[in-house]
Every structure is written in structure tokens, then in C-alpha cells.
Structure 1
Amino acid sequence: MRLAFIGGGTMAEAILKGVLAAKLAGPTDISVGEPVAARRDLLTGDYGVAATENNLEAVKGADLVVLAIKPQDLPSLFDQLKGKLDAGQTAVSIIAGAKIATLSTGLNHGAVIRVMPNTPAQIGEGMSVWTCSKEVGEQARLLAQSVLDTVGQEVYVDDEKYLDMATAVSGSGPAYVFLIIEALIDAGVYVGLPRETSRIAALQTIYGSTKLVMESGKHPAELKAMVVSPAGTTAEGLQALERAGVPAAIVEAVNAAYLKSIKLGQG
């Protein structure tokens, strides 16, 4: 498999690293189009891949062309690549909010895959939700799936509307979790724990609780009930969270991110 990246930032590097580790492609099979010289030097030095500031050069001969740029850079990309992808190439976009129709029109190319990954892909624990245009063949779909598998879990959906929803849950979700972790650590310090002790306790609690949900198969509400004793400390803490509107705030956060994703897609 030959792979090209347009944009050599954090997410592109995570996917590139995953593909190399899984031996889906070798360094000589990967090229990166990246405008920043320091990033080109890093990617070439650390991974042995070809890196160029010329996007047309980067995409030559690639089976999959991964678009890993900021949404505001799309017009410039379209100017460079419109009508330049070969019929056998498939564009794979990880650009937040960019719809398949927009990408297909801008590139003048029918075969487009849209992916919503997230930052835990950097350690191979990412979540990628994806879909594709009808022009994407079975081989290209399998290639894309194998690439996404190298950086965590992937789920294919048959309707693009779910991508905006996934953006709000799994795409933005790590930031919500990091905020909760930060607050839990600070709360431990507030009640008297040394900061390092609070940090270790909070991180292991989040990690262990997540793993318990995933491996037990139990509903989170059932596991929550197992921690709560009548008139106990956990019941008191949960009541404080309810009074502060934390569950409702999480719903509001996801809905706000969802609406923003739709707005980005509308240009």
C-alpha cells in the first residue's frame, strides 16, 4: 500500500506511526506534503518517510491520500489538487466538519472517505468513526479500515449525518475527559491530598472505571449503583454533582459541539 498525507501534524503523525508499526507500509511507501520545514525534518528524521512542501508531488502514486489539514486551509488545497487525483486514488479526510460533497466537488474526485478520529490515536487507543461515498471501492474501504485499525477502534456508519454526532462525542470527547480528570485532581488537593497522590488516584480511577465498563459488559448505571451505599459518601457526592447540573452540562456540551460541527460543514 502506498500512502500520502497532506498535512503532517499530530494526527497525521499518529496514523503514519501506526501504519509503520503494523507494517502495512514501509517508509518508502509513505509521502507527506507539509509546508512547515521543521515538521518535514522531524517526520523524515524520525520515520524515514519522504516529506515535501509540494502537495502534488506528495500524492503521486498513492493509493490513499489522507487529508489532514485545518478546515480553513481547504480552499487552498482545492486550488492545488482539484482534478489532480487519479481515478484509482481515494481521498481520506480527517478534517473536522468537511462534508463528502464539499470534498468531492472541491477535488473534482468522487472517491472520498470521511473519518472522525480522536487524539488517543497517538498511543494506538483512538476512536475513528467513518463513512464513504458510493464511488469508493471495496479494496479502498478495506485499506482504509486496516489503516484506522492501527490507531485504535474503528466503526463504519452508512450515513454521513452520524459523523457530526461522532465529532461531538468521540472527536471532542477527550477534551471533556481531560477536564474531568483535571477537576478531580484539583478536588483531591482541595480536600487535602498531596497533588501527586491526587493525580495518581484520579488517573487510575478513571482508567480502571473505564476498563471495568468495557470488560464487564454492565451498564454504567449498574456499576454506579454498586458503589453507592445508603446515606454514604458516594451518594452525597453524586447528589452534589446532580445539584450542580453536571449530567445536563455534559449533554449541553455534546449538543453544542454537534451544532458547531454542522456549522463548519456549511462553510
Structure 2
Amino acid sequence: MDAPKISVIGPGAMGEAIIAGLLRDGLTPAQHVTASGPDVERVEELRSVYGVRPMTDNAAAVEGADVVILSVKPQRLERVLSGLCGKVPPQALVLSIVAGAALPSISERLQHKALVRAMPNTPAQIGEGITVWTASAAVSTEQHELARCILGALGSEIFVEEENYLDMATALSGSGPAYVFLFMEAMVDAGVHLGFPRRIAEQLVTQTVRGSADYFAGRKSHPAALRNEVTSPGGTSAAALYYLEKAGFRTAISRAIWAAYERSQELGKDKHRKSPENSAERD
């Protein structure tokens, strides 16, 4: 599909990341991209930065669209789908990145069959994200490839046949940056406690995390093998790891990710119970 017309419903951080990725990879020109949401100042900001078309009427924003991207908060989805029901062009692909929103539910409320559900993560904002996605049976080969290109503009992408992997991805990679940032924050604070200036502690931790991830990706060894490489008998790493294991570090991570998985499943139910007016999140 040459220069597809793409409407992004929900101009928040991830919506902006998608717009930036589309334009950065040259998938379509700015004049073919529409950013729609209730905040006039926000959509005008995106117009000034990226040159996209700003709109506050979602139904009008999807007119003539080849792709409609739903990037709203789960609590806002019900209202958005109600406003778009019957308005999405029959030939359009709908791509949702809404956590917890299953394809059958979106299809029923939107009265549309060609759907993709995806779960990107925060590093997508700099083109270094990882997105897990799946598609409904009605998605054509051309639309499938278009979805792959759009999501690839955010970083790496992994297609899965079964939708239940999406809630798992939400818990593991979607929420994953939050776990990493908390770990980094704890390391930085520990460095400051030891006596480092905060800026030096931040630099040490940032490069340690970045370098460790790159080293793991390059070696393609089991993490335990790499951990053993830097754990000398009776050494400093051994002492630290003993304390982490004793404190239940591994179990805490596992339980946290499981809690996120359960919450992802609950979100699909919660969004039908919560009133959109009670949410302060942007569409």
C-alpha cells in the first residue's frame, strides 16, 4: 500500500511515538497522518512538531483512513469505540495498543473485523521498543505486512498466532521498563549511600544496565552462565547475590509480573465498569 492514510486516535506518549516512528521510517507523509483527541492544545502541538493533521472529532478523523490506530487508555476505550462504531471505513485496518482489550470485544463494539492487537513498550518512543502483536482472521496479507511495518517503526516486533500471549507480553515487556527503572533507581540510591555524587552513580548504573543487556544479546548465553562468569567464589558479587536470593529477589520479580498479568486481564472487565468522565487520562 503506497502512502497509507493513518489516523491515530489518542495523542498521548505512545500515540506520539507511533507518529514519530511512521515519519522517521518514511512509511507515509505527515499530511496523511491524523492525530485525534479531545485536547485541542495537544493535537495542535503534534501538528506544529510533526506536521500532521490535528482533529478533535474521532469520527471525522477516521474518514478515508487506511489504518486506524487506537492508543487510548483502557478506561477511555468504551467511549471511543462507541463514537467510532460504524464510522471506520470497511476496508481499513484497526490497530489497537490498548492494554487488556481483546480482539473480539473491540470487533463487537466497533462492528469491524480487520483488527490487529499489539503491545509495545516505552522504549518505542526512541525506536528501541519491543512489540508483541497478533491479528484477526479478516486481516489481509497486505494489511498484515502494513501492520508489521508500522510496529517495526517502534523497534523490534514479534507476531504471535494466539491472542493470550498479549496479556503475557503486557506483564513482561509492556510493564517491563517500570521494573528496570525501579531497579536502576535502587542501584543509584545505593551508590549515593556509598558516597558517590548522584550524577556519577546514575552514569555508572546506566552504562552497567545498557552494557549488560548488550552483552547478553551478543553472547546469547543463558543469563545464569553470564552471572556465573562474574561471580567469583567468596567474592563481592557472591556476597551480593546471596543477599538478594535470601531477600526473595527472584520470587518478588516473578510475583510482580504475575500480578501485572492478572491486572492486564482485569482491565478488559474494568473498562466496562468505569465511567470515562472519572478518568483524567487523555484520549
- TM-score, normalised relative to structure 1: 0.98
Q: Does 1:70 pair with 2:73?
A: yes
Q: What residue is the counterpart of 1:198 in the other structure? A: 201
For 1:250-261, list aligned pairs within 5 A. Answer: 250-261=253-264
**Amino acid of the structure 1 residue aligned with 2:178:** A
CA positional deviation for 1:29: 0.8
Tell me whether 1:57 sits opposite 2:60 in the alignment: yes
Unaligned runs of 5+ in 2: 271-283
Deviates more, 1:77-86 or 1:112-121: 77-86
Query: Which structure 2 residues correspond to residues 201-212 of structure 1 after superposition, within 5 A?
Result: 201-212=204-215
Specify the alignment match of 2:225 in structure 1.
222
Per-residue Cα deviation, 1:134-173 (whole angstroms, up to 9, x for no partner): 1111111100100111110000000000000000000000
1:99 partnered with 2:78: no
Distance 2:53 2:235 in 1: 60
Counterparts of 1:134-149 in structure 2, within 5 Å, are 134-149=137-152
Cα shift at 1:230: 0.6
What's 1:242 paired with? 245
SS of 2:190 mapped into structure 1: helix
Aligned to 2:116: 113
How many residue pairs match? The answer is 267
Residue 127 of structure 2, aligned match among 121, 124, 128: 124
CA distance in 2 between partners of 1:257 and 1:47 (Å): 34
Which residue among 173, 176, 183 is the counterpart of 1:173? 176
Q: Distance in 2 between matches of 1:243 and 1:155?
A: 35
Distance 2:201 2:5 in 1: 46
Amino acid at match of 1:176: Y
The range that moved more, 81-90 or 10-19, is 81-90
Does structure 1 retain, via aligned residues, the 8 Å contact 2:46–2:54?
yes
User: For structure 1, which segment, 192-201 or 129-138, has the greater mean C-alpha deviation from structure 2 after superposition?
Assistant: 192-201
Give the structure-2-normalised TM-score. Answer: 0.93
Question: 3-state SS of the aligned residue for 1:231?
Answer: coil
| Shift >3 Å, 4+ stretches | none
Unpaired runs of 5+ residues, structure 1, are: none
Matched-pair identity in % = 44
2:92 is the alignment partner of 1:89: yes
Give, as a single letter, the amino acid of the residue that structure 2 aligns with 1:148. Answer: L
What secondary structure sits across from 2:95 in the alignment? Answer: strand
Given residue 64 of structure 1, which amino acid in structure 2 is its aligned partner? Answer: V
Paired letter, 2:12: G
Q: 3-state DSSP class of the match of 1:170?
A: helix
User: 1:79: how far off?
Assistant: 2.0
Shift of 1:78: 2.1
Aligned with 2:25 (options 9, 22, 27): 22
How far 1:266 sits from its partner (Å)? 3.1
Structure 2 Cα separation of the partners of residues 133 and 147 of structure 1 = 17
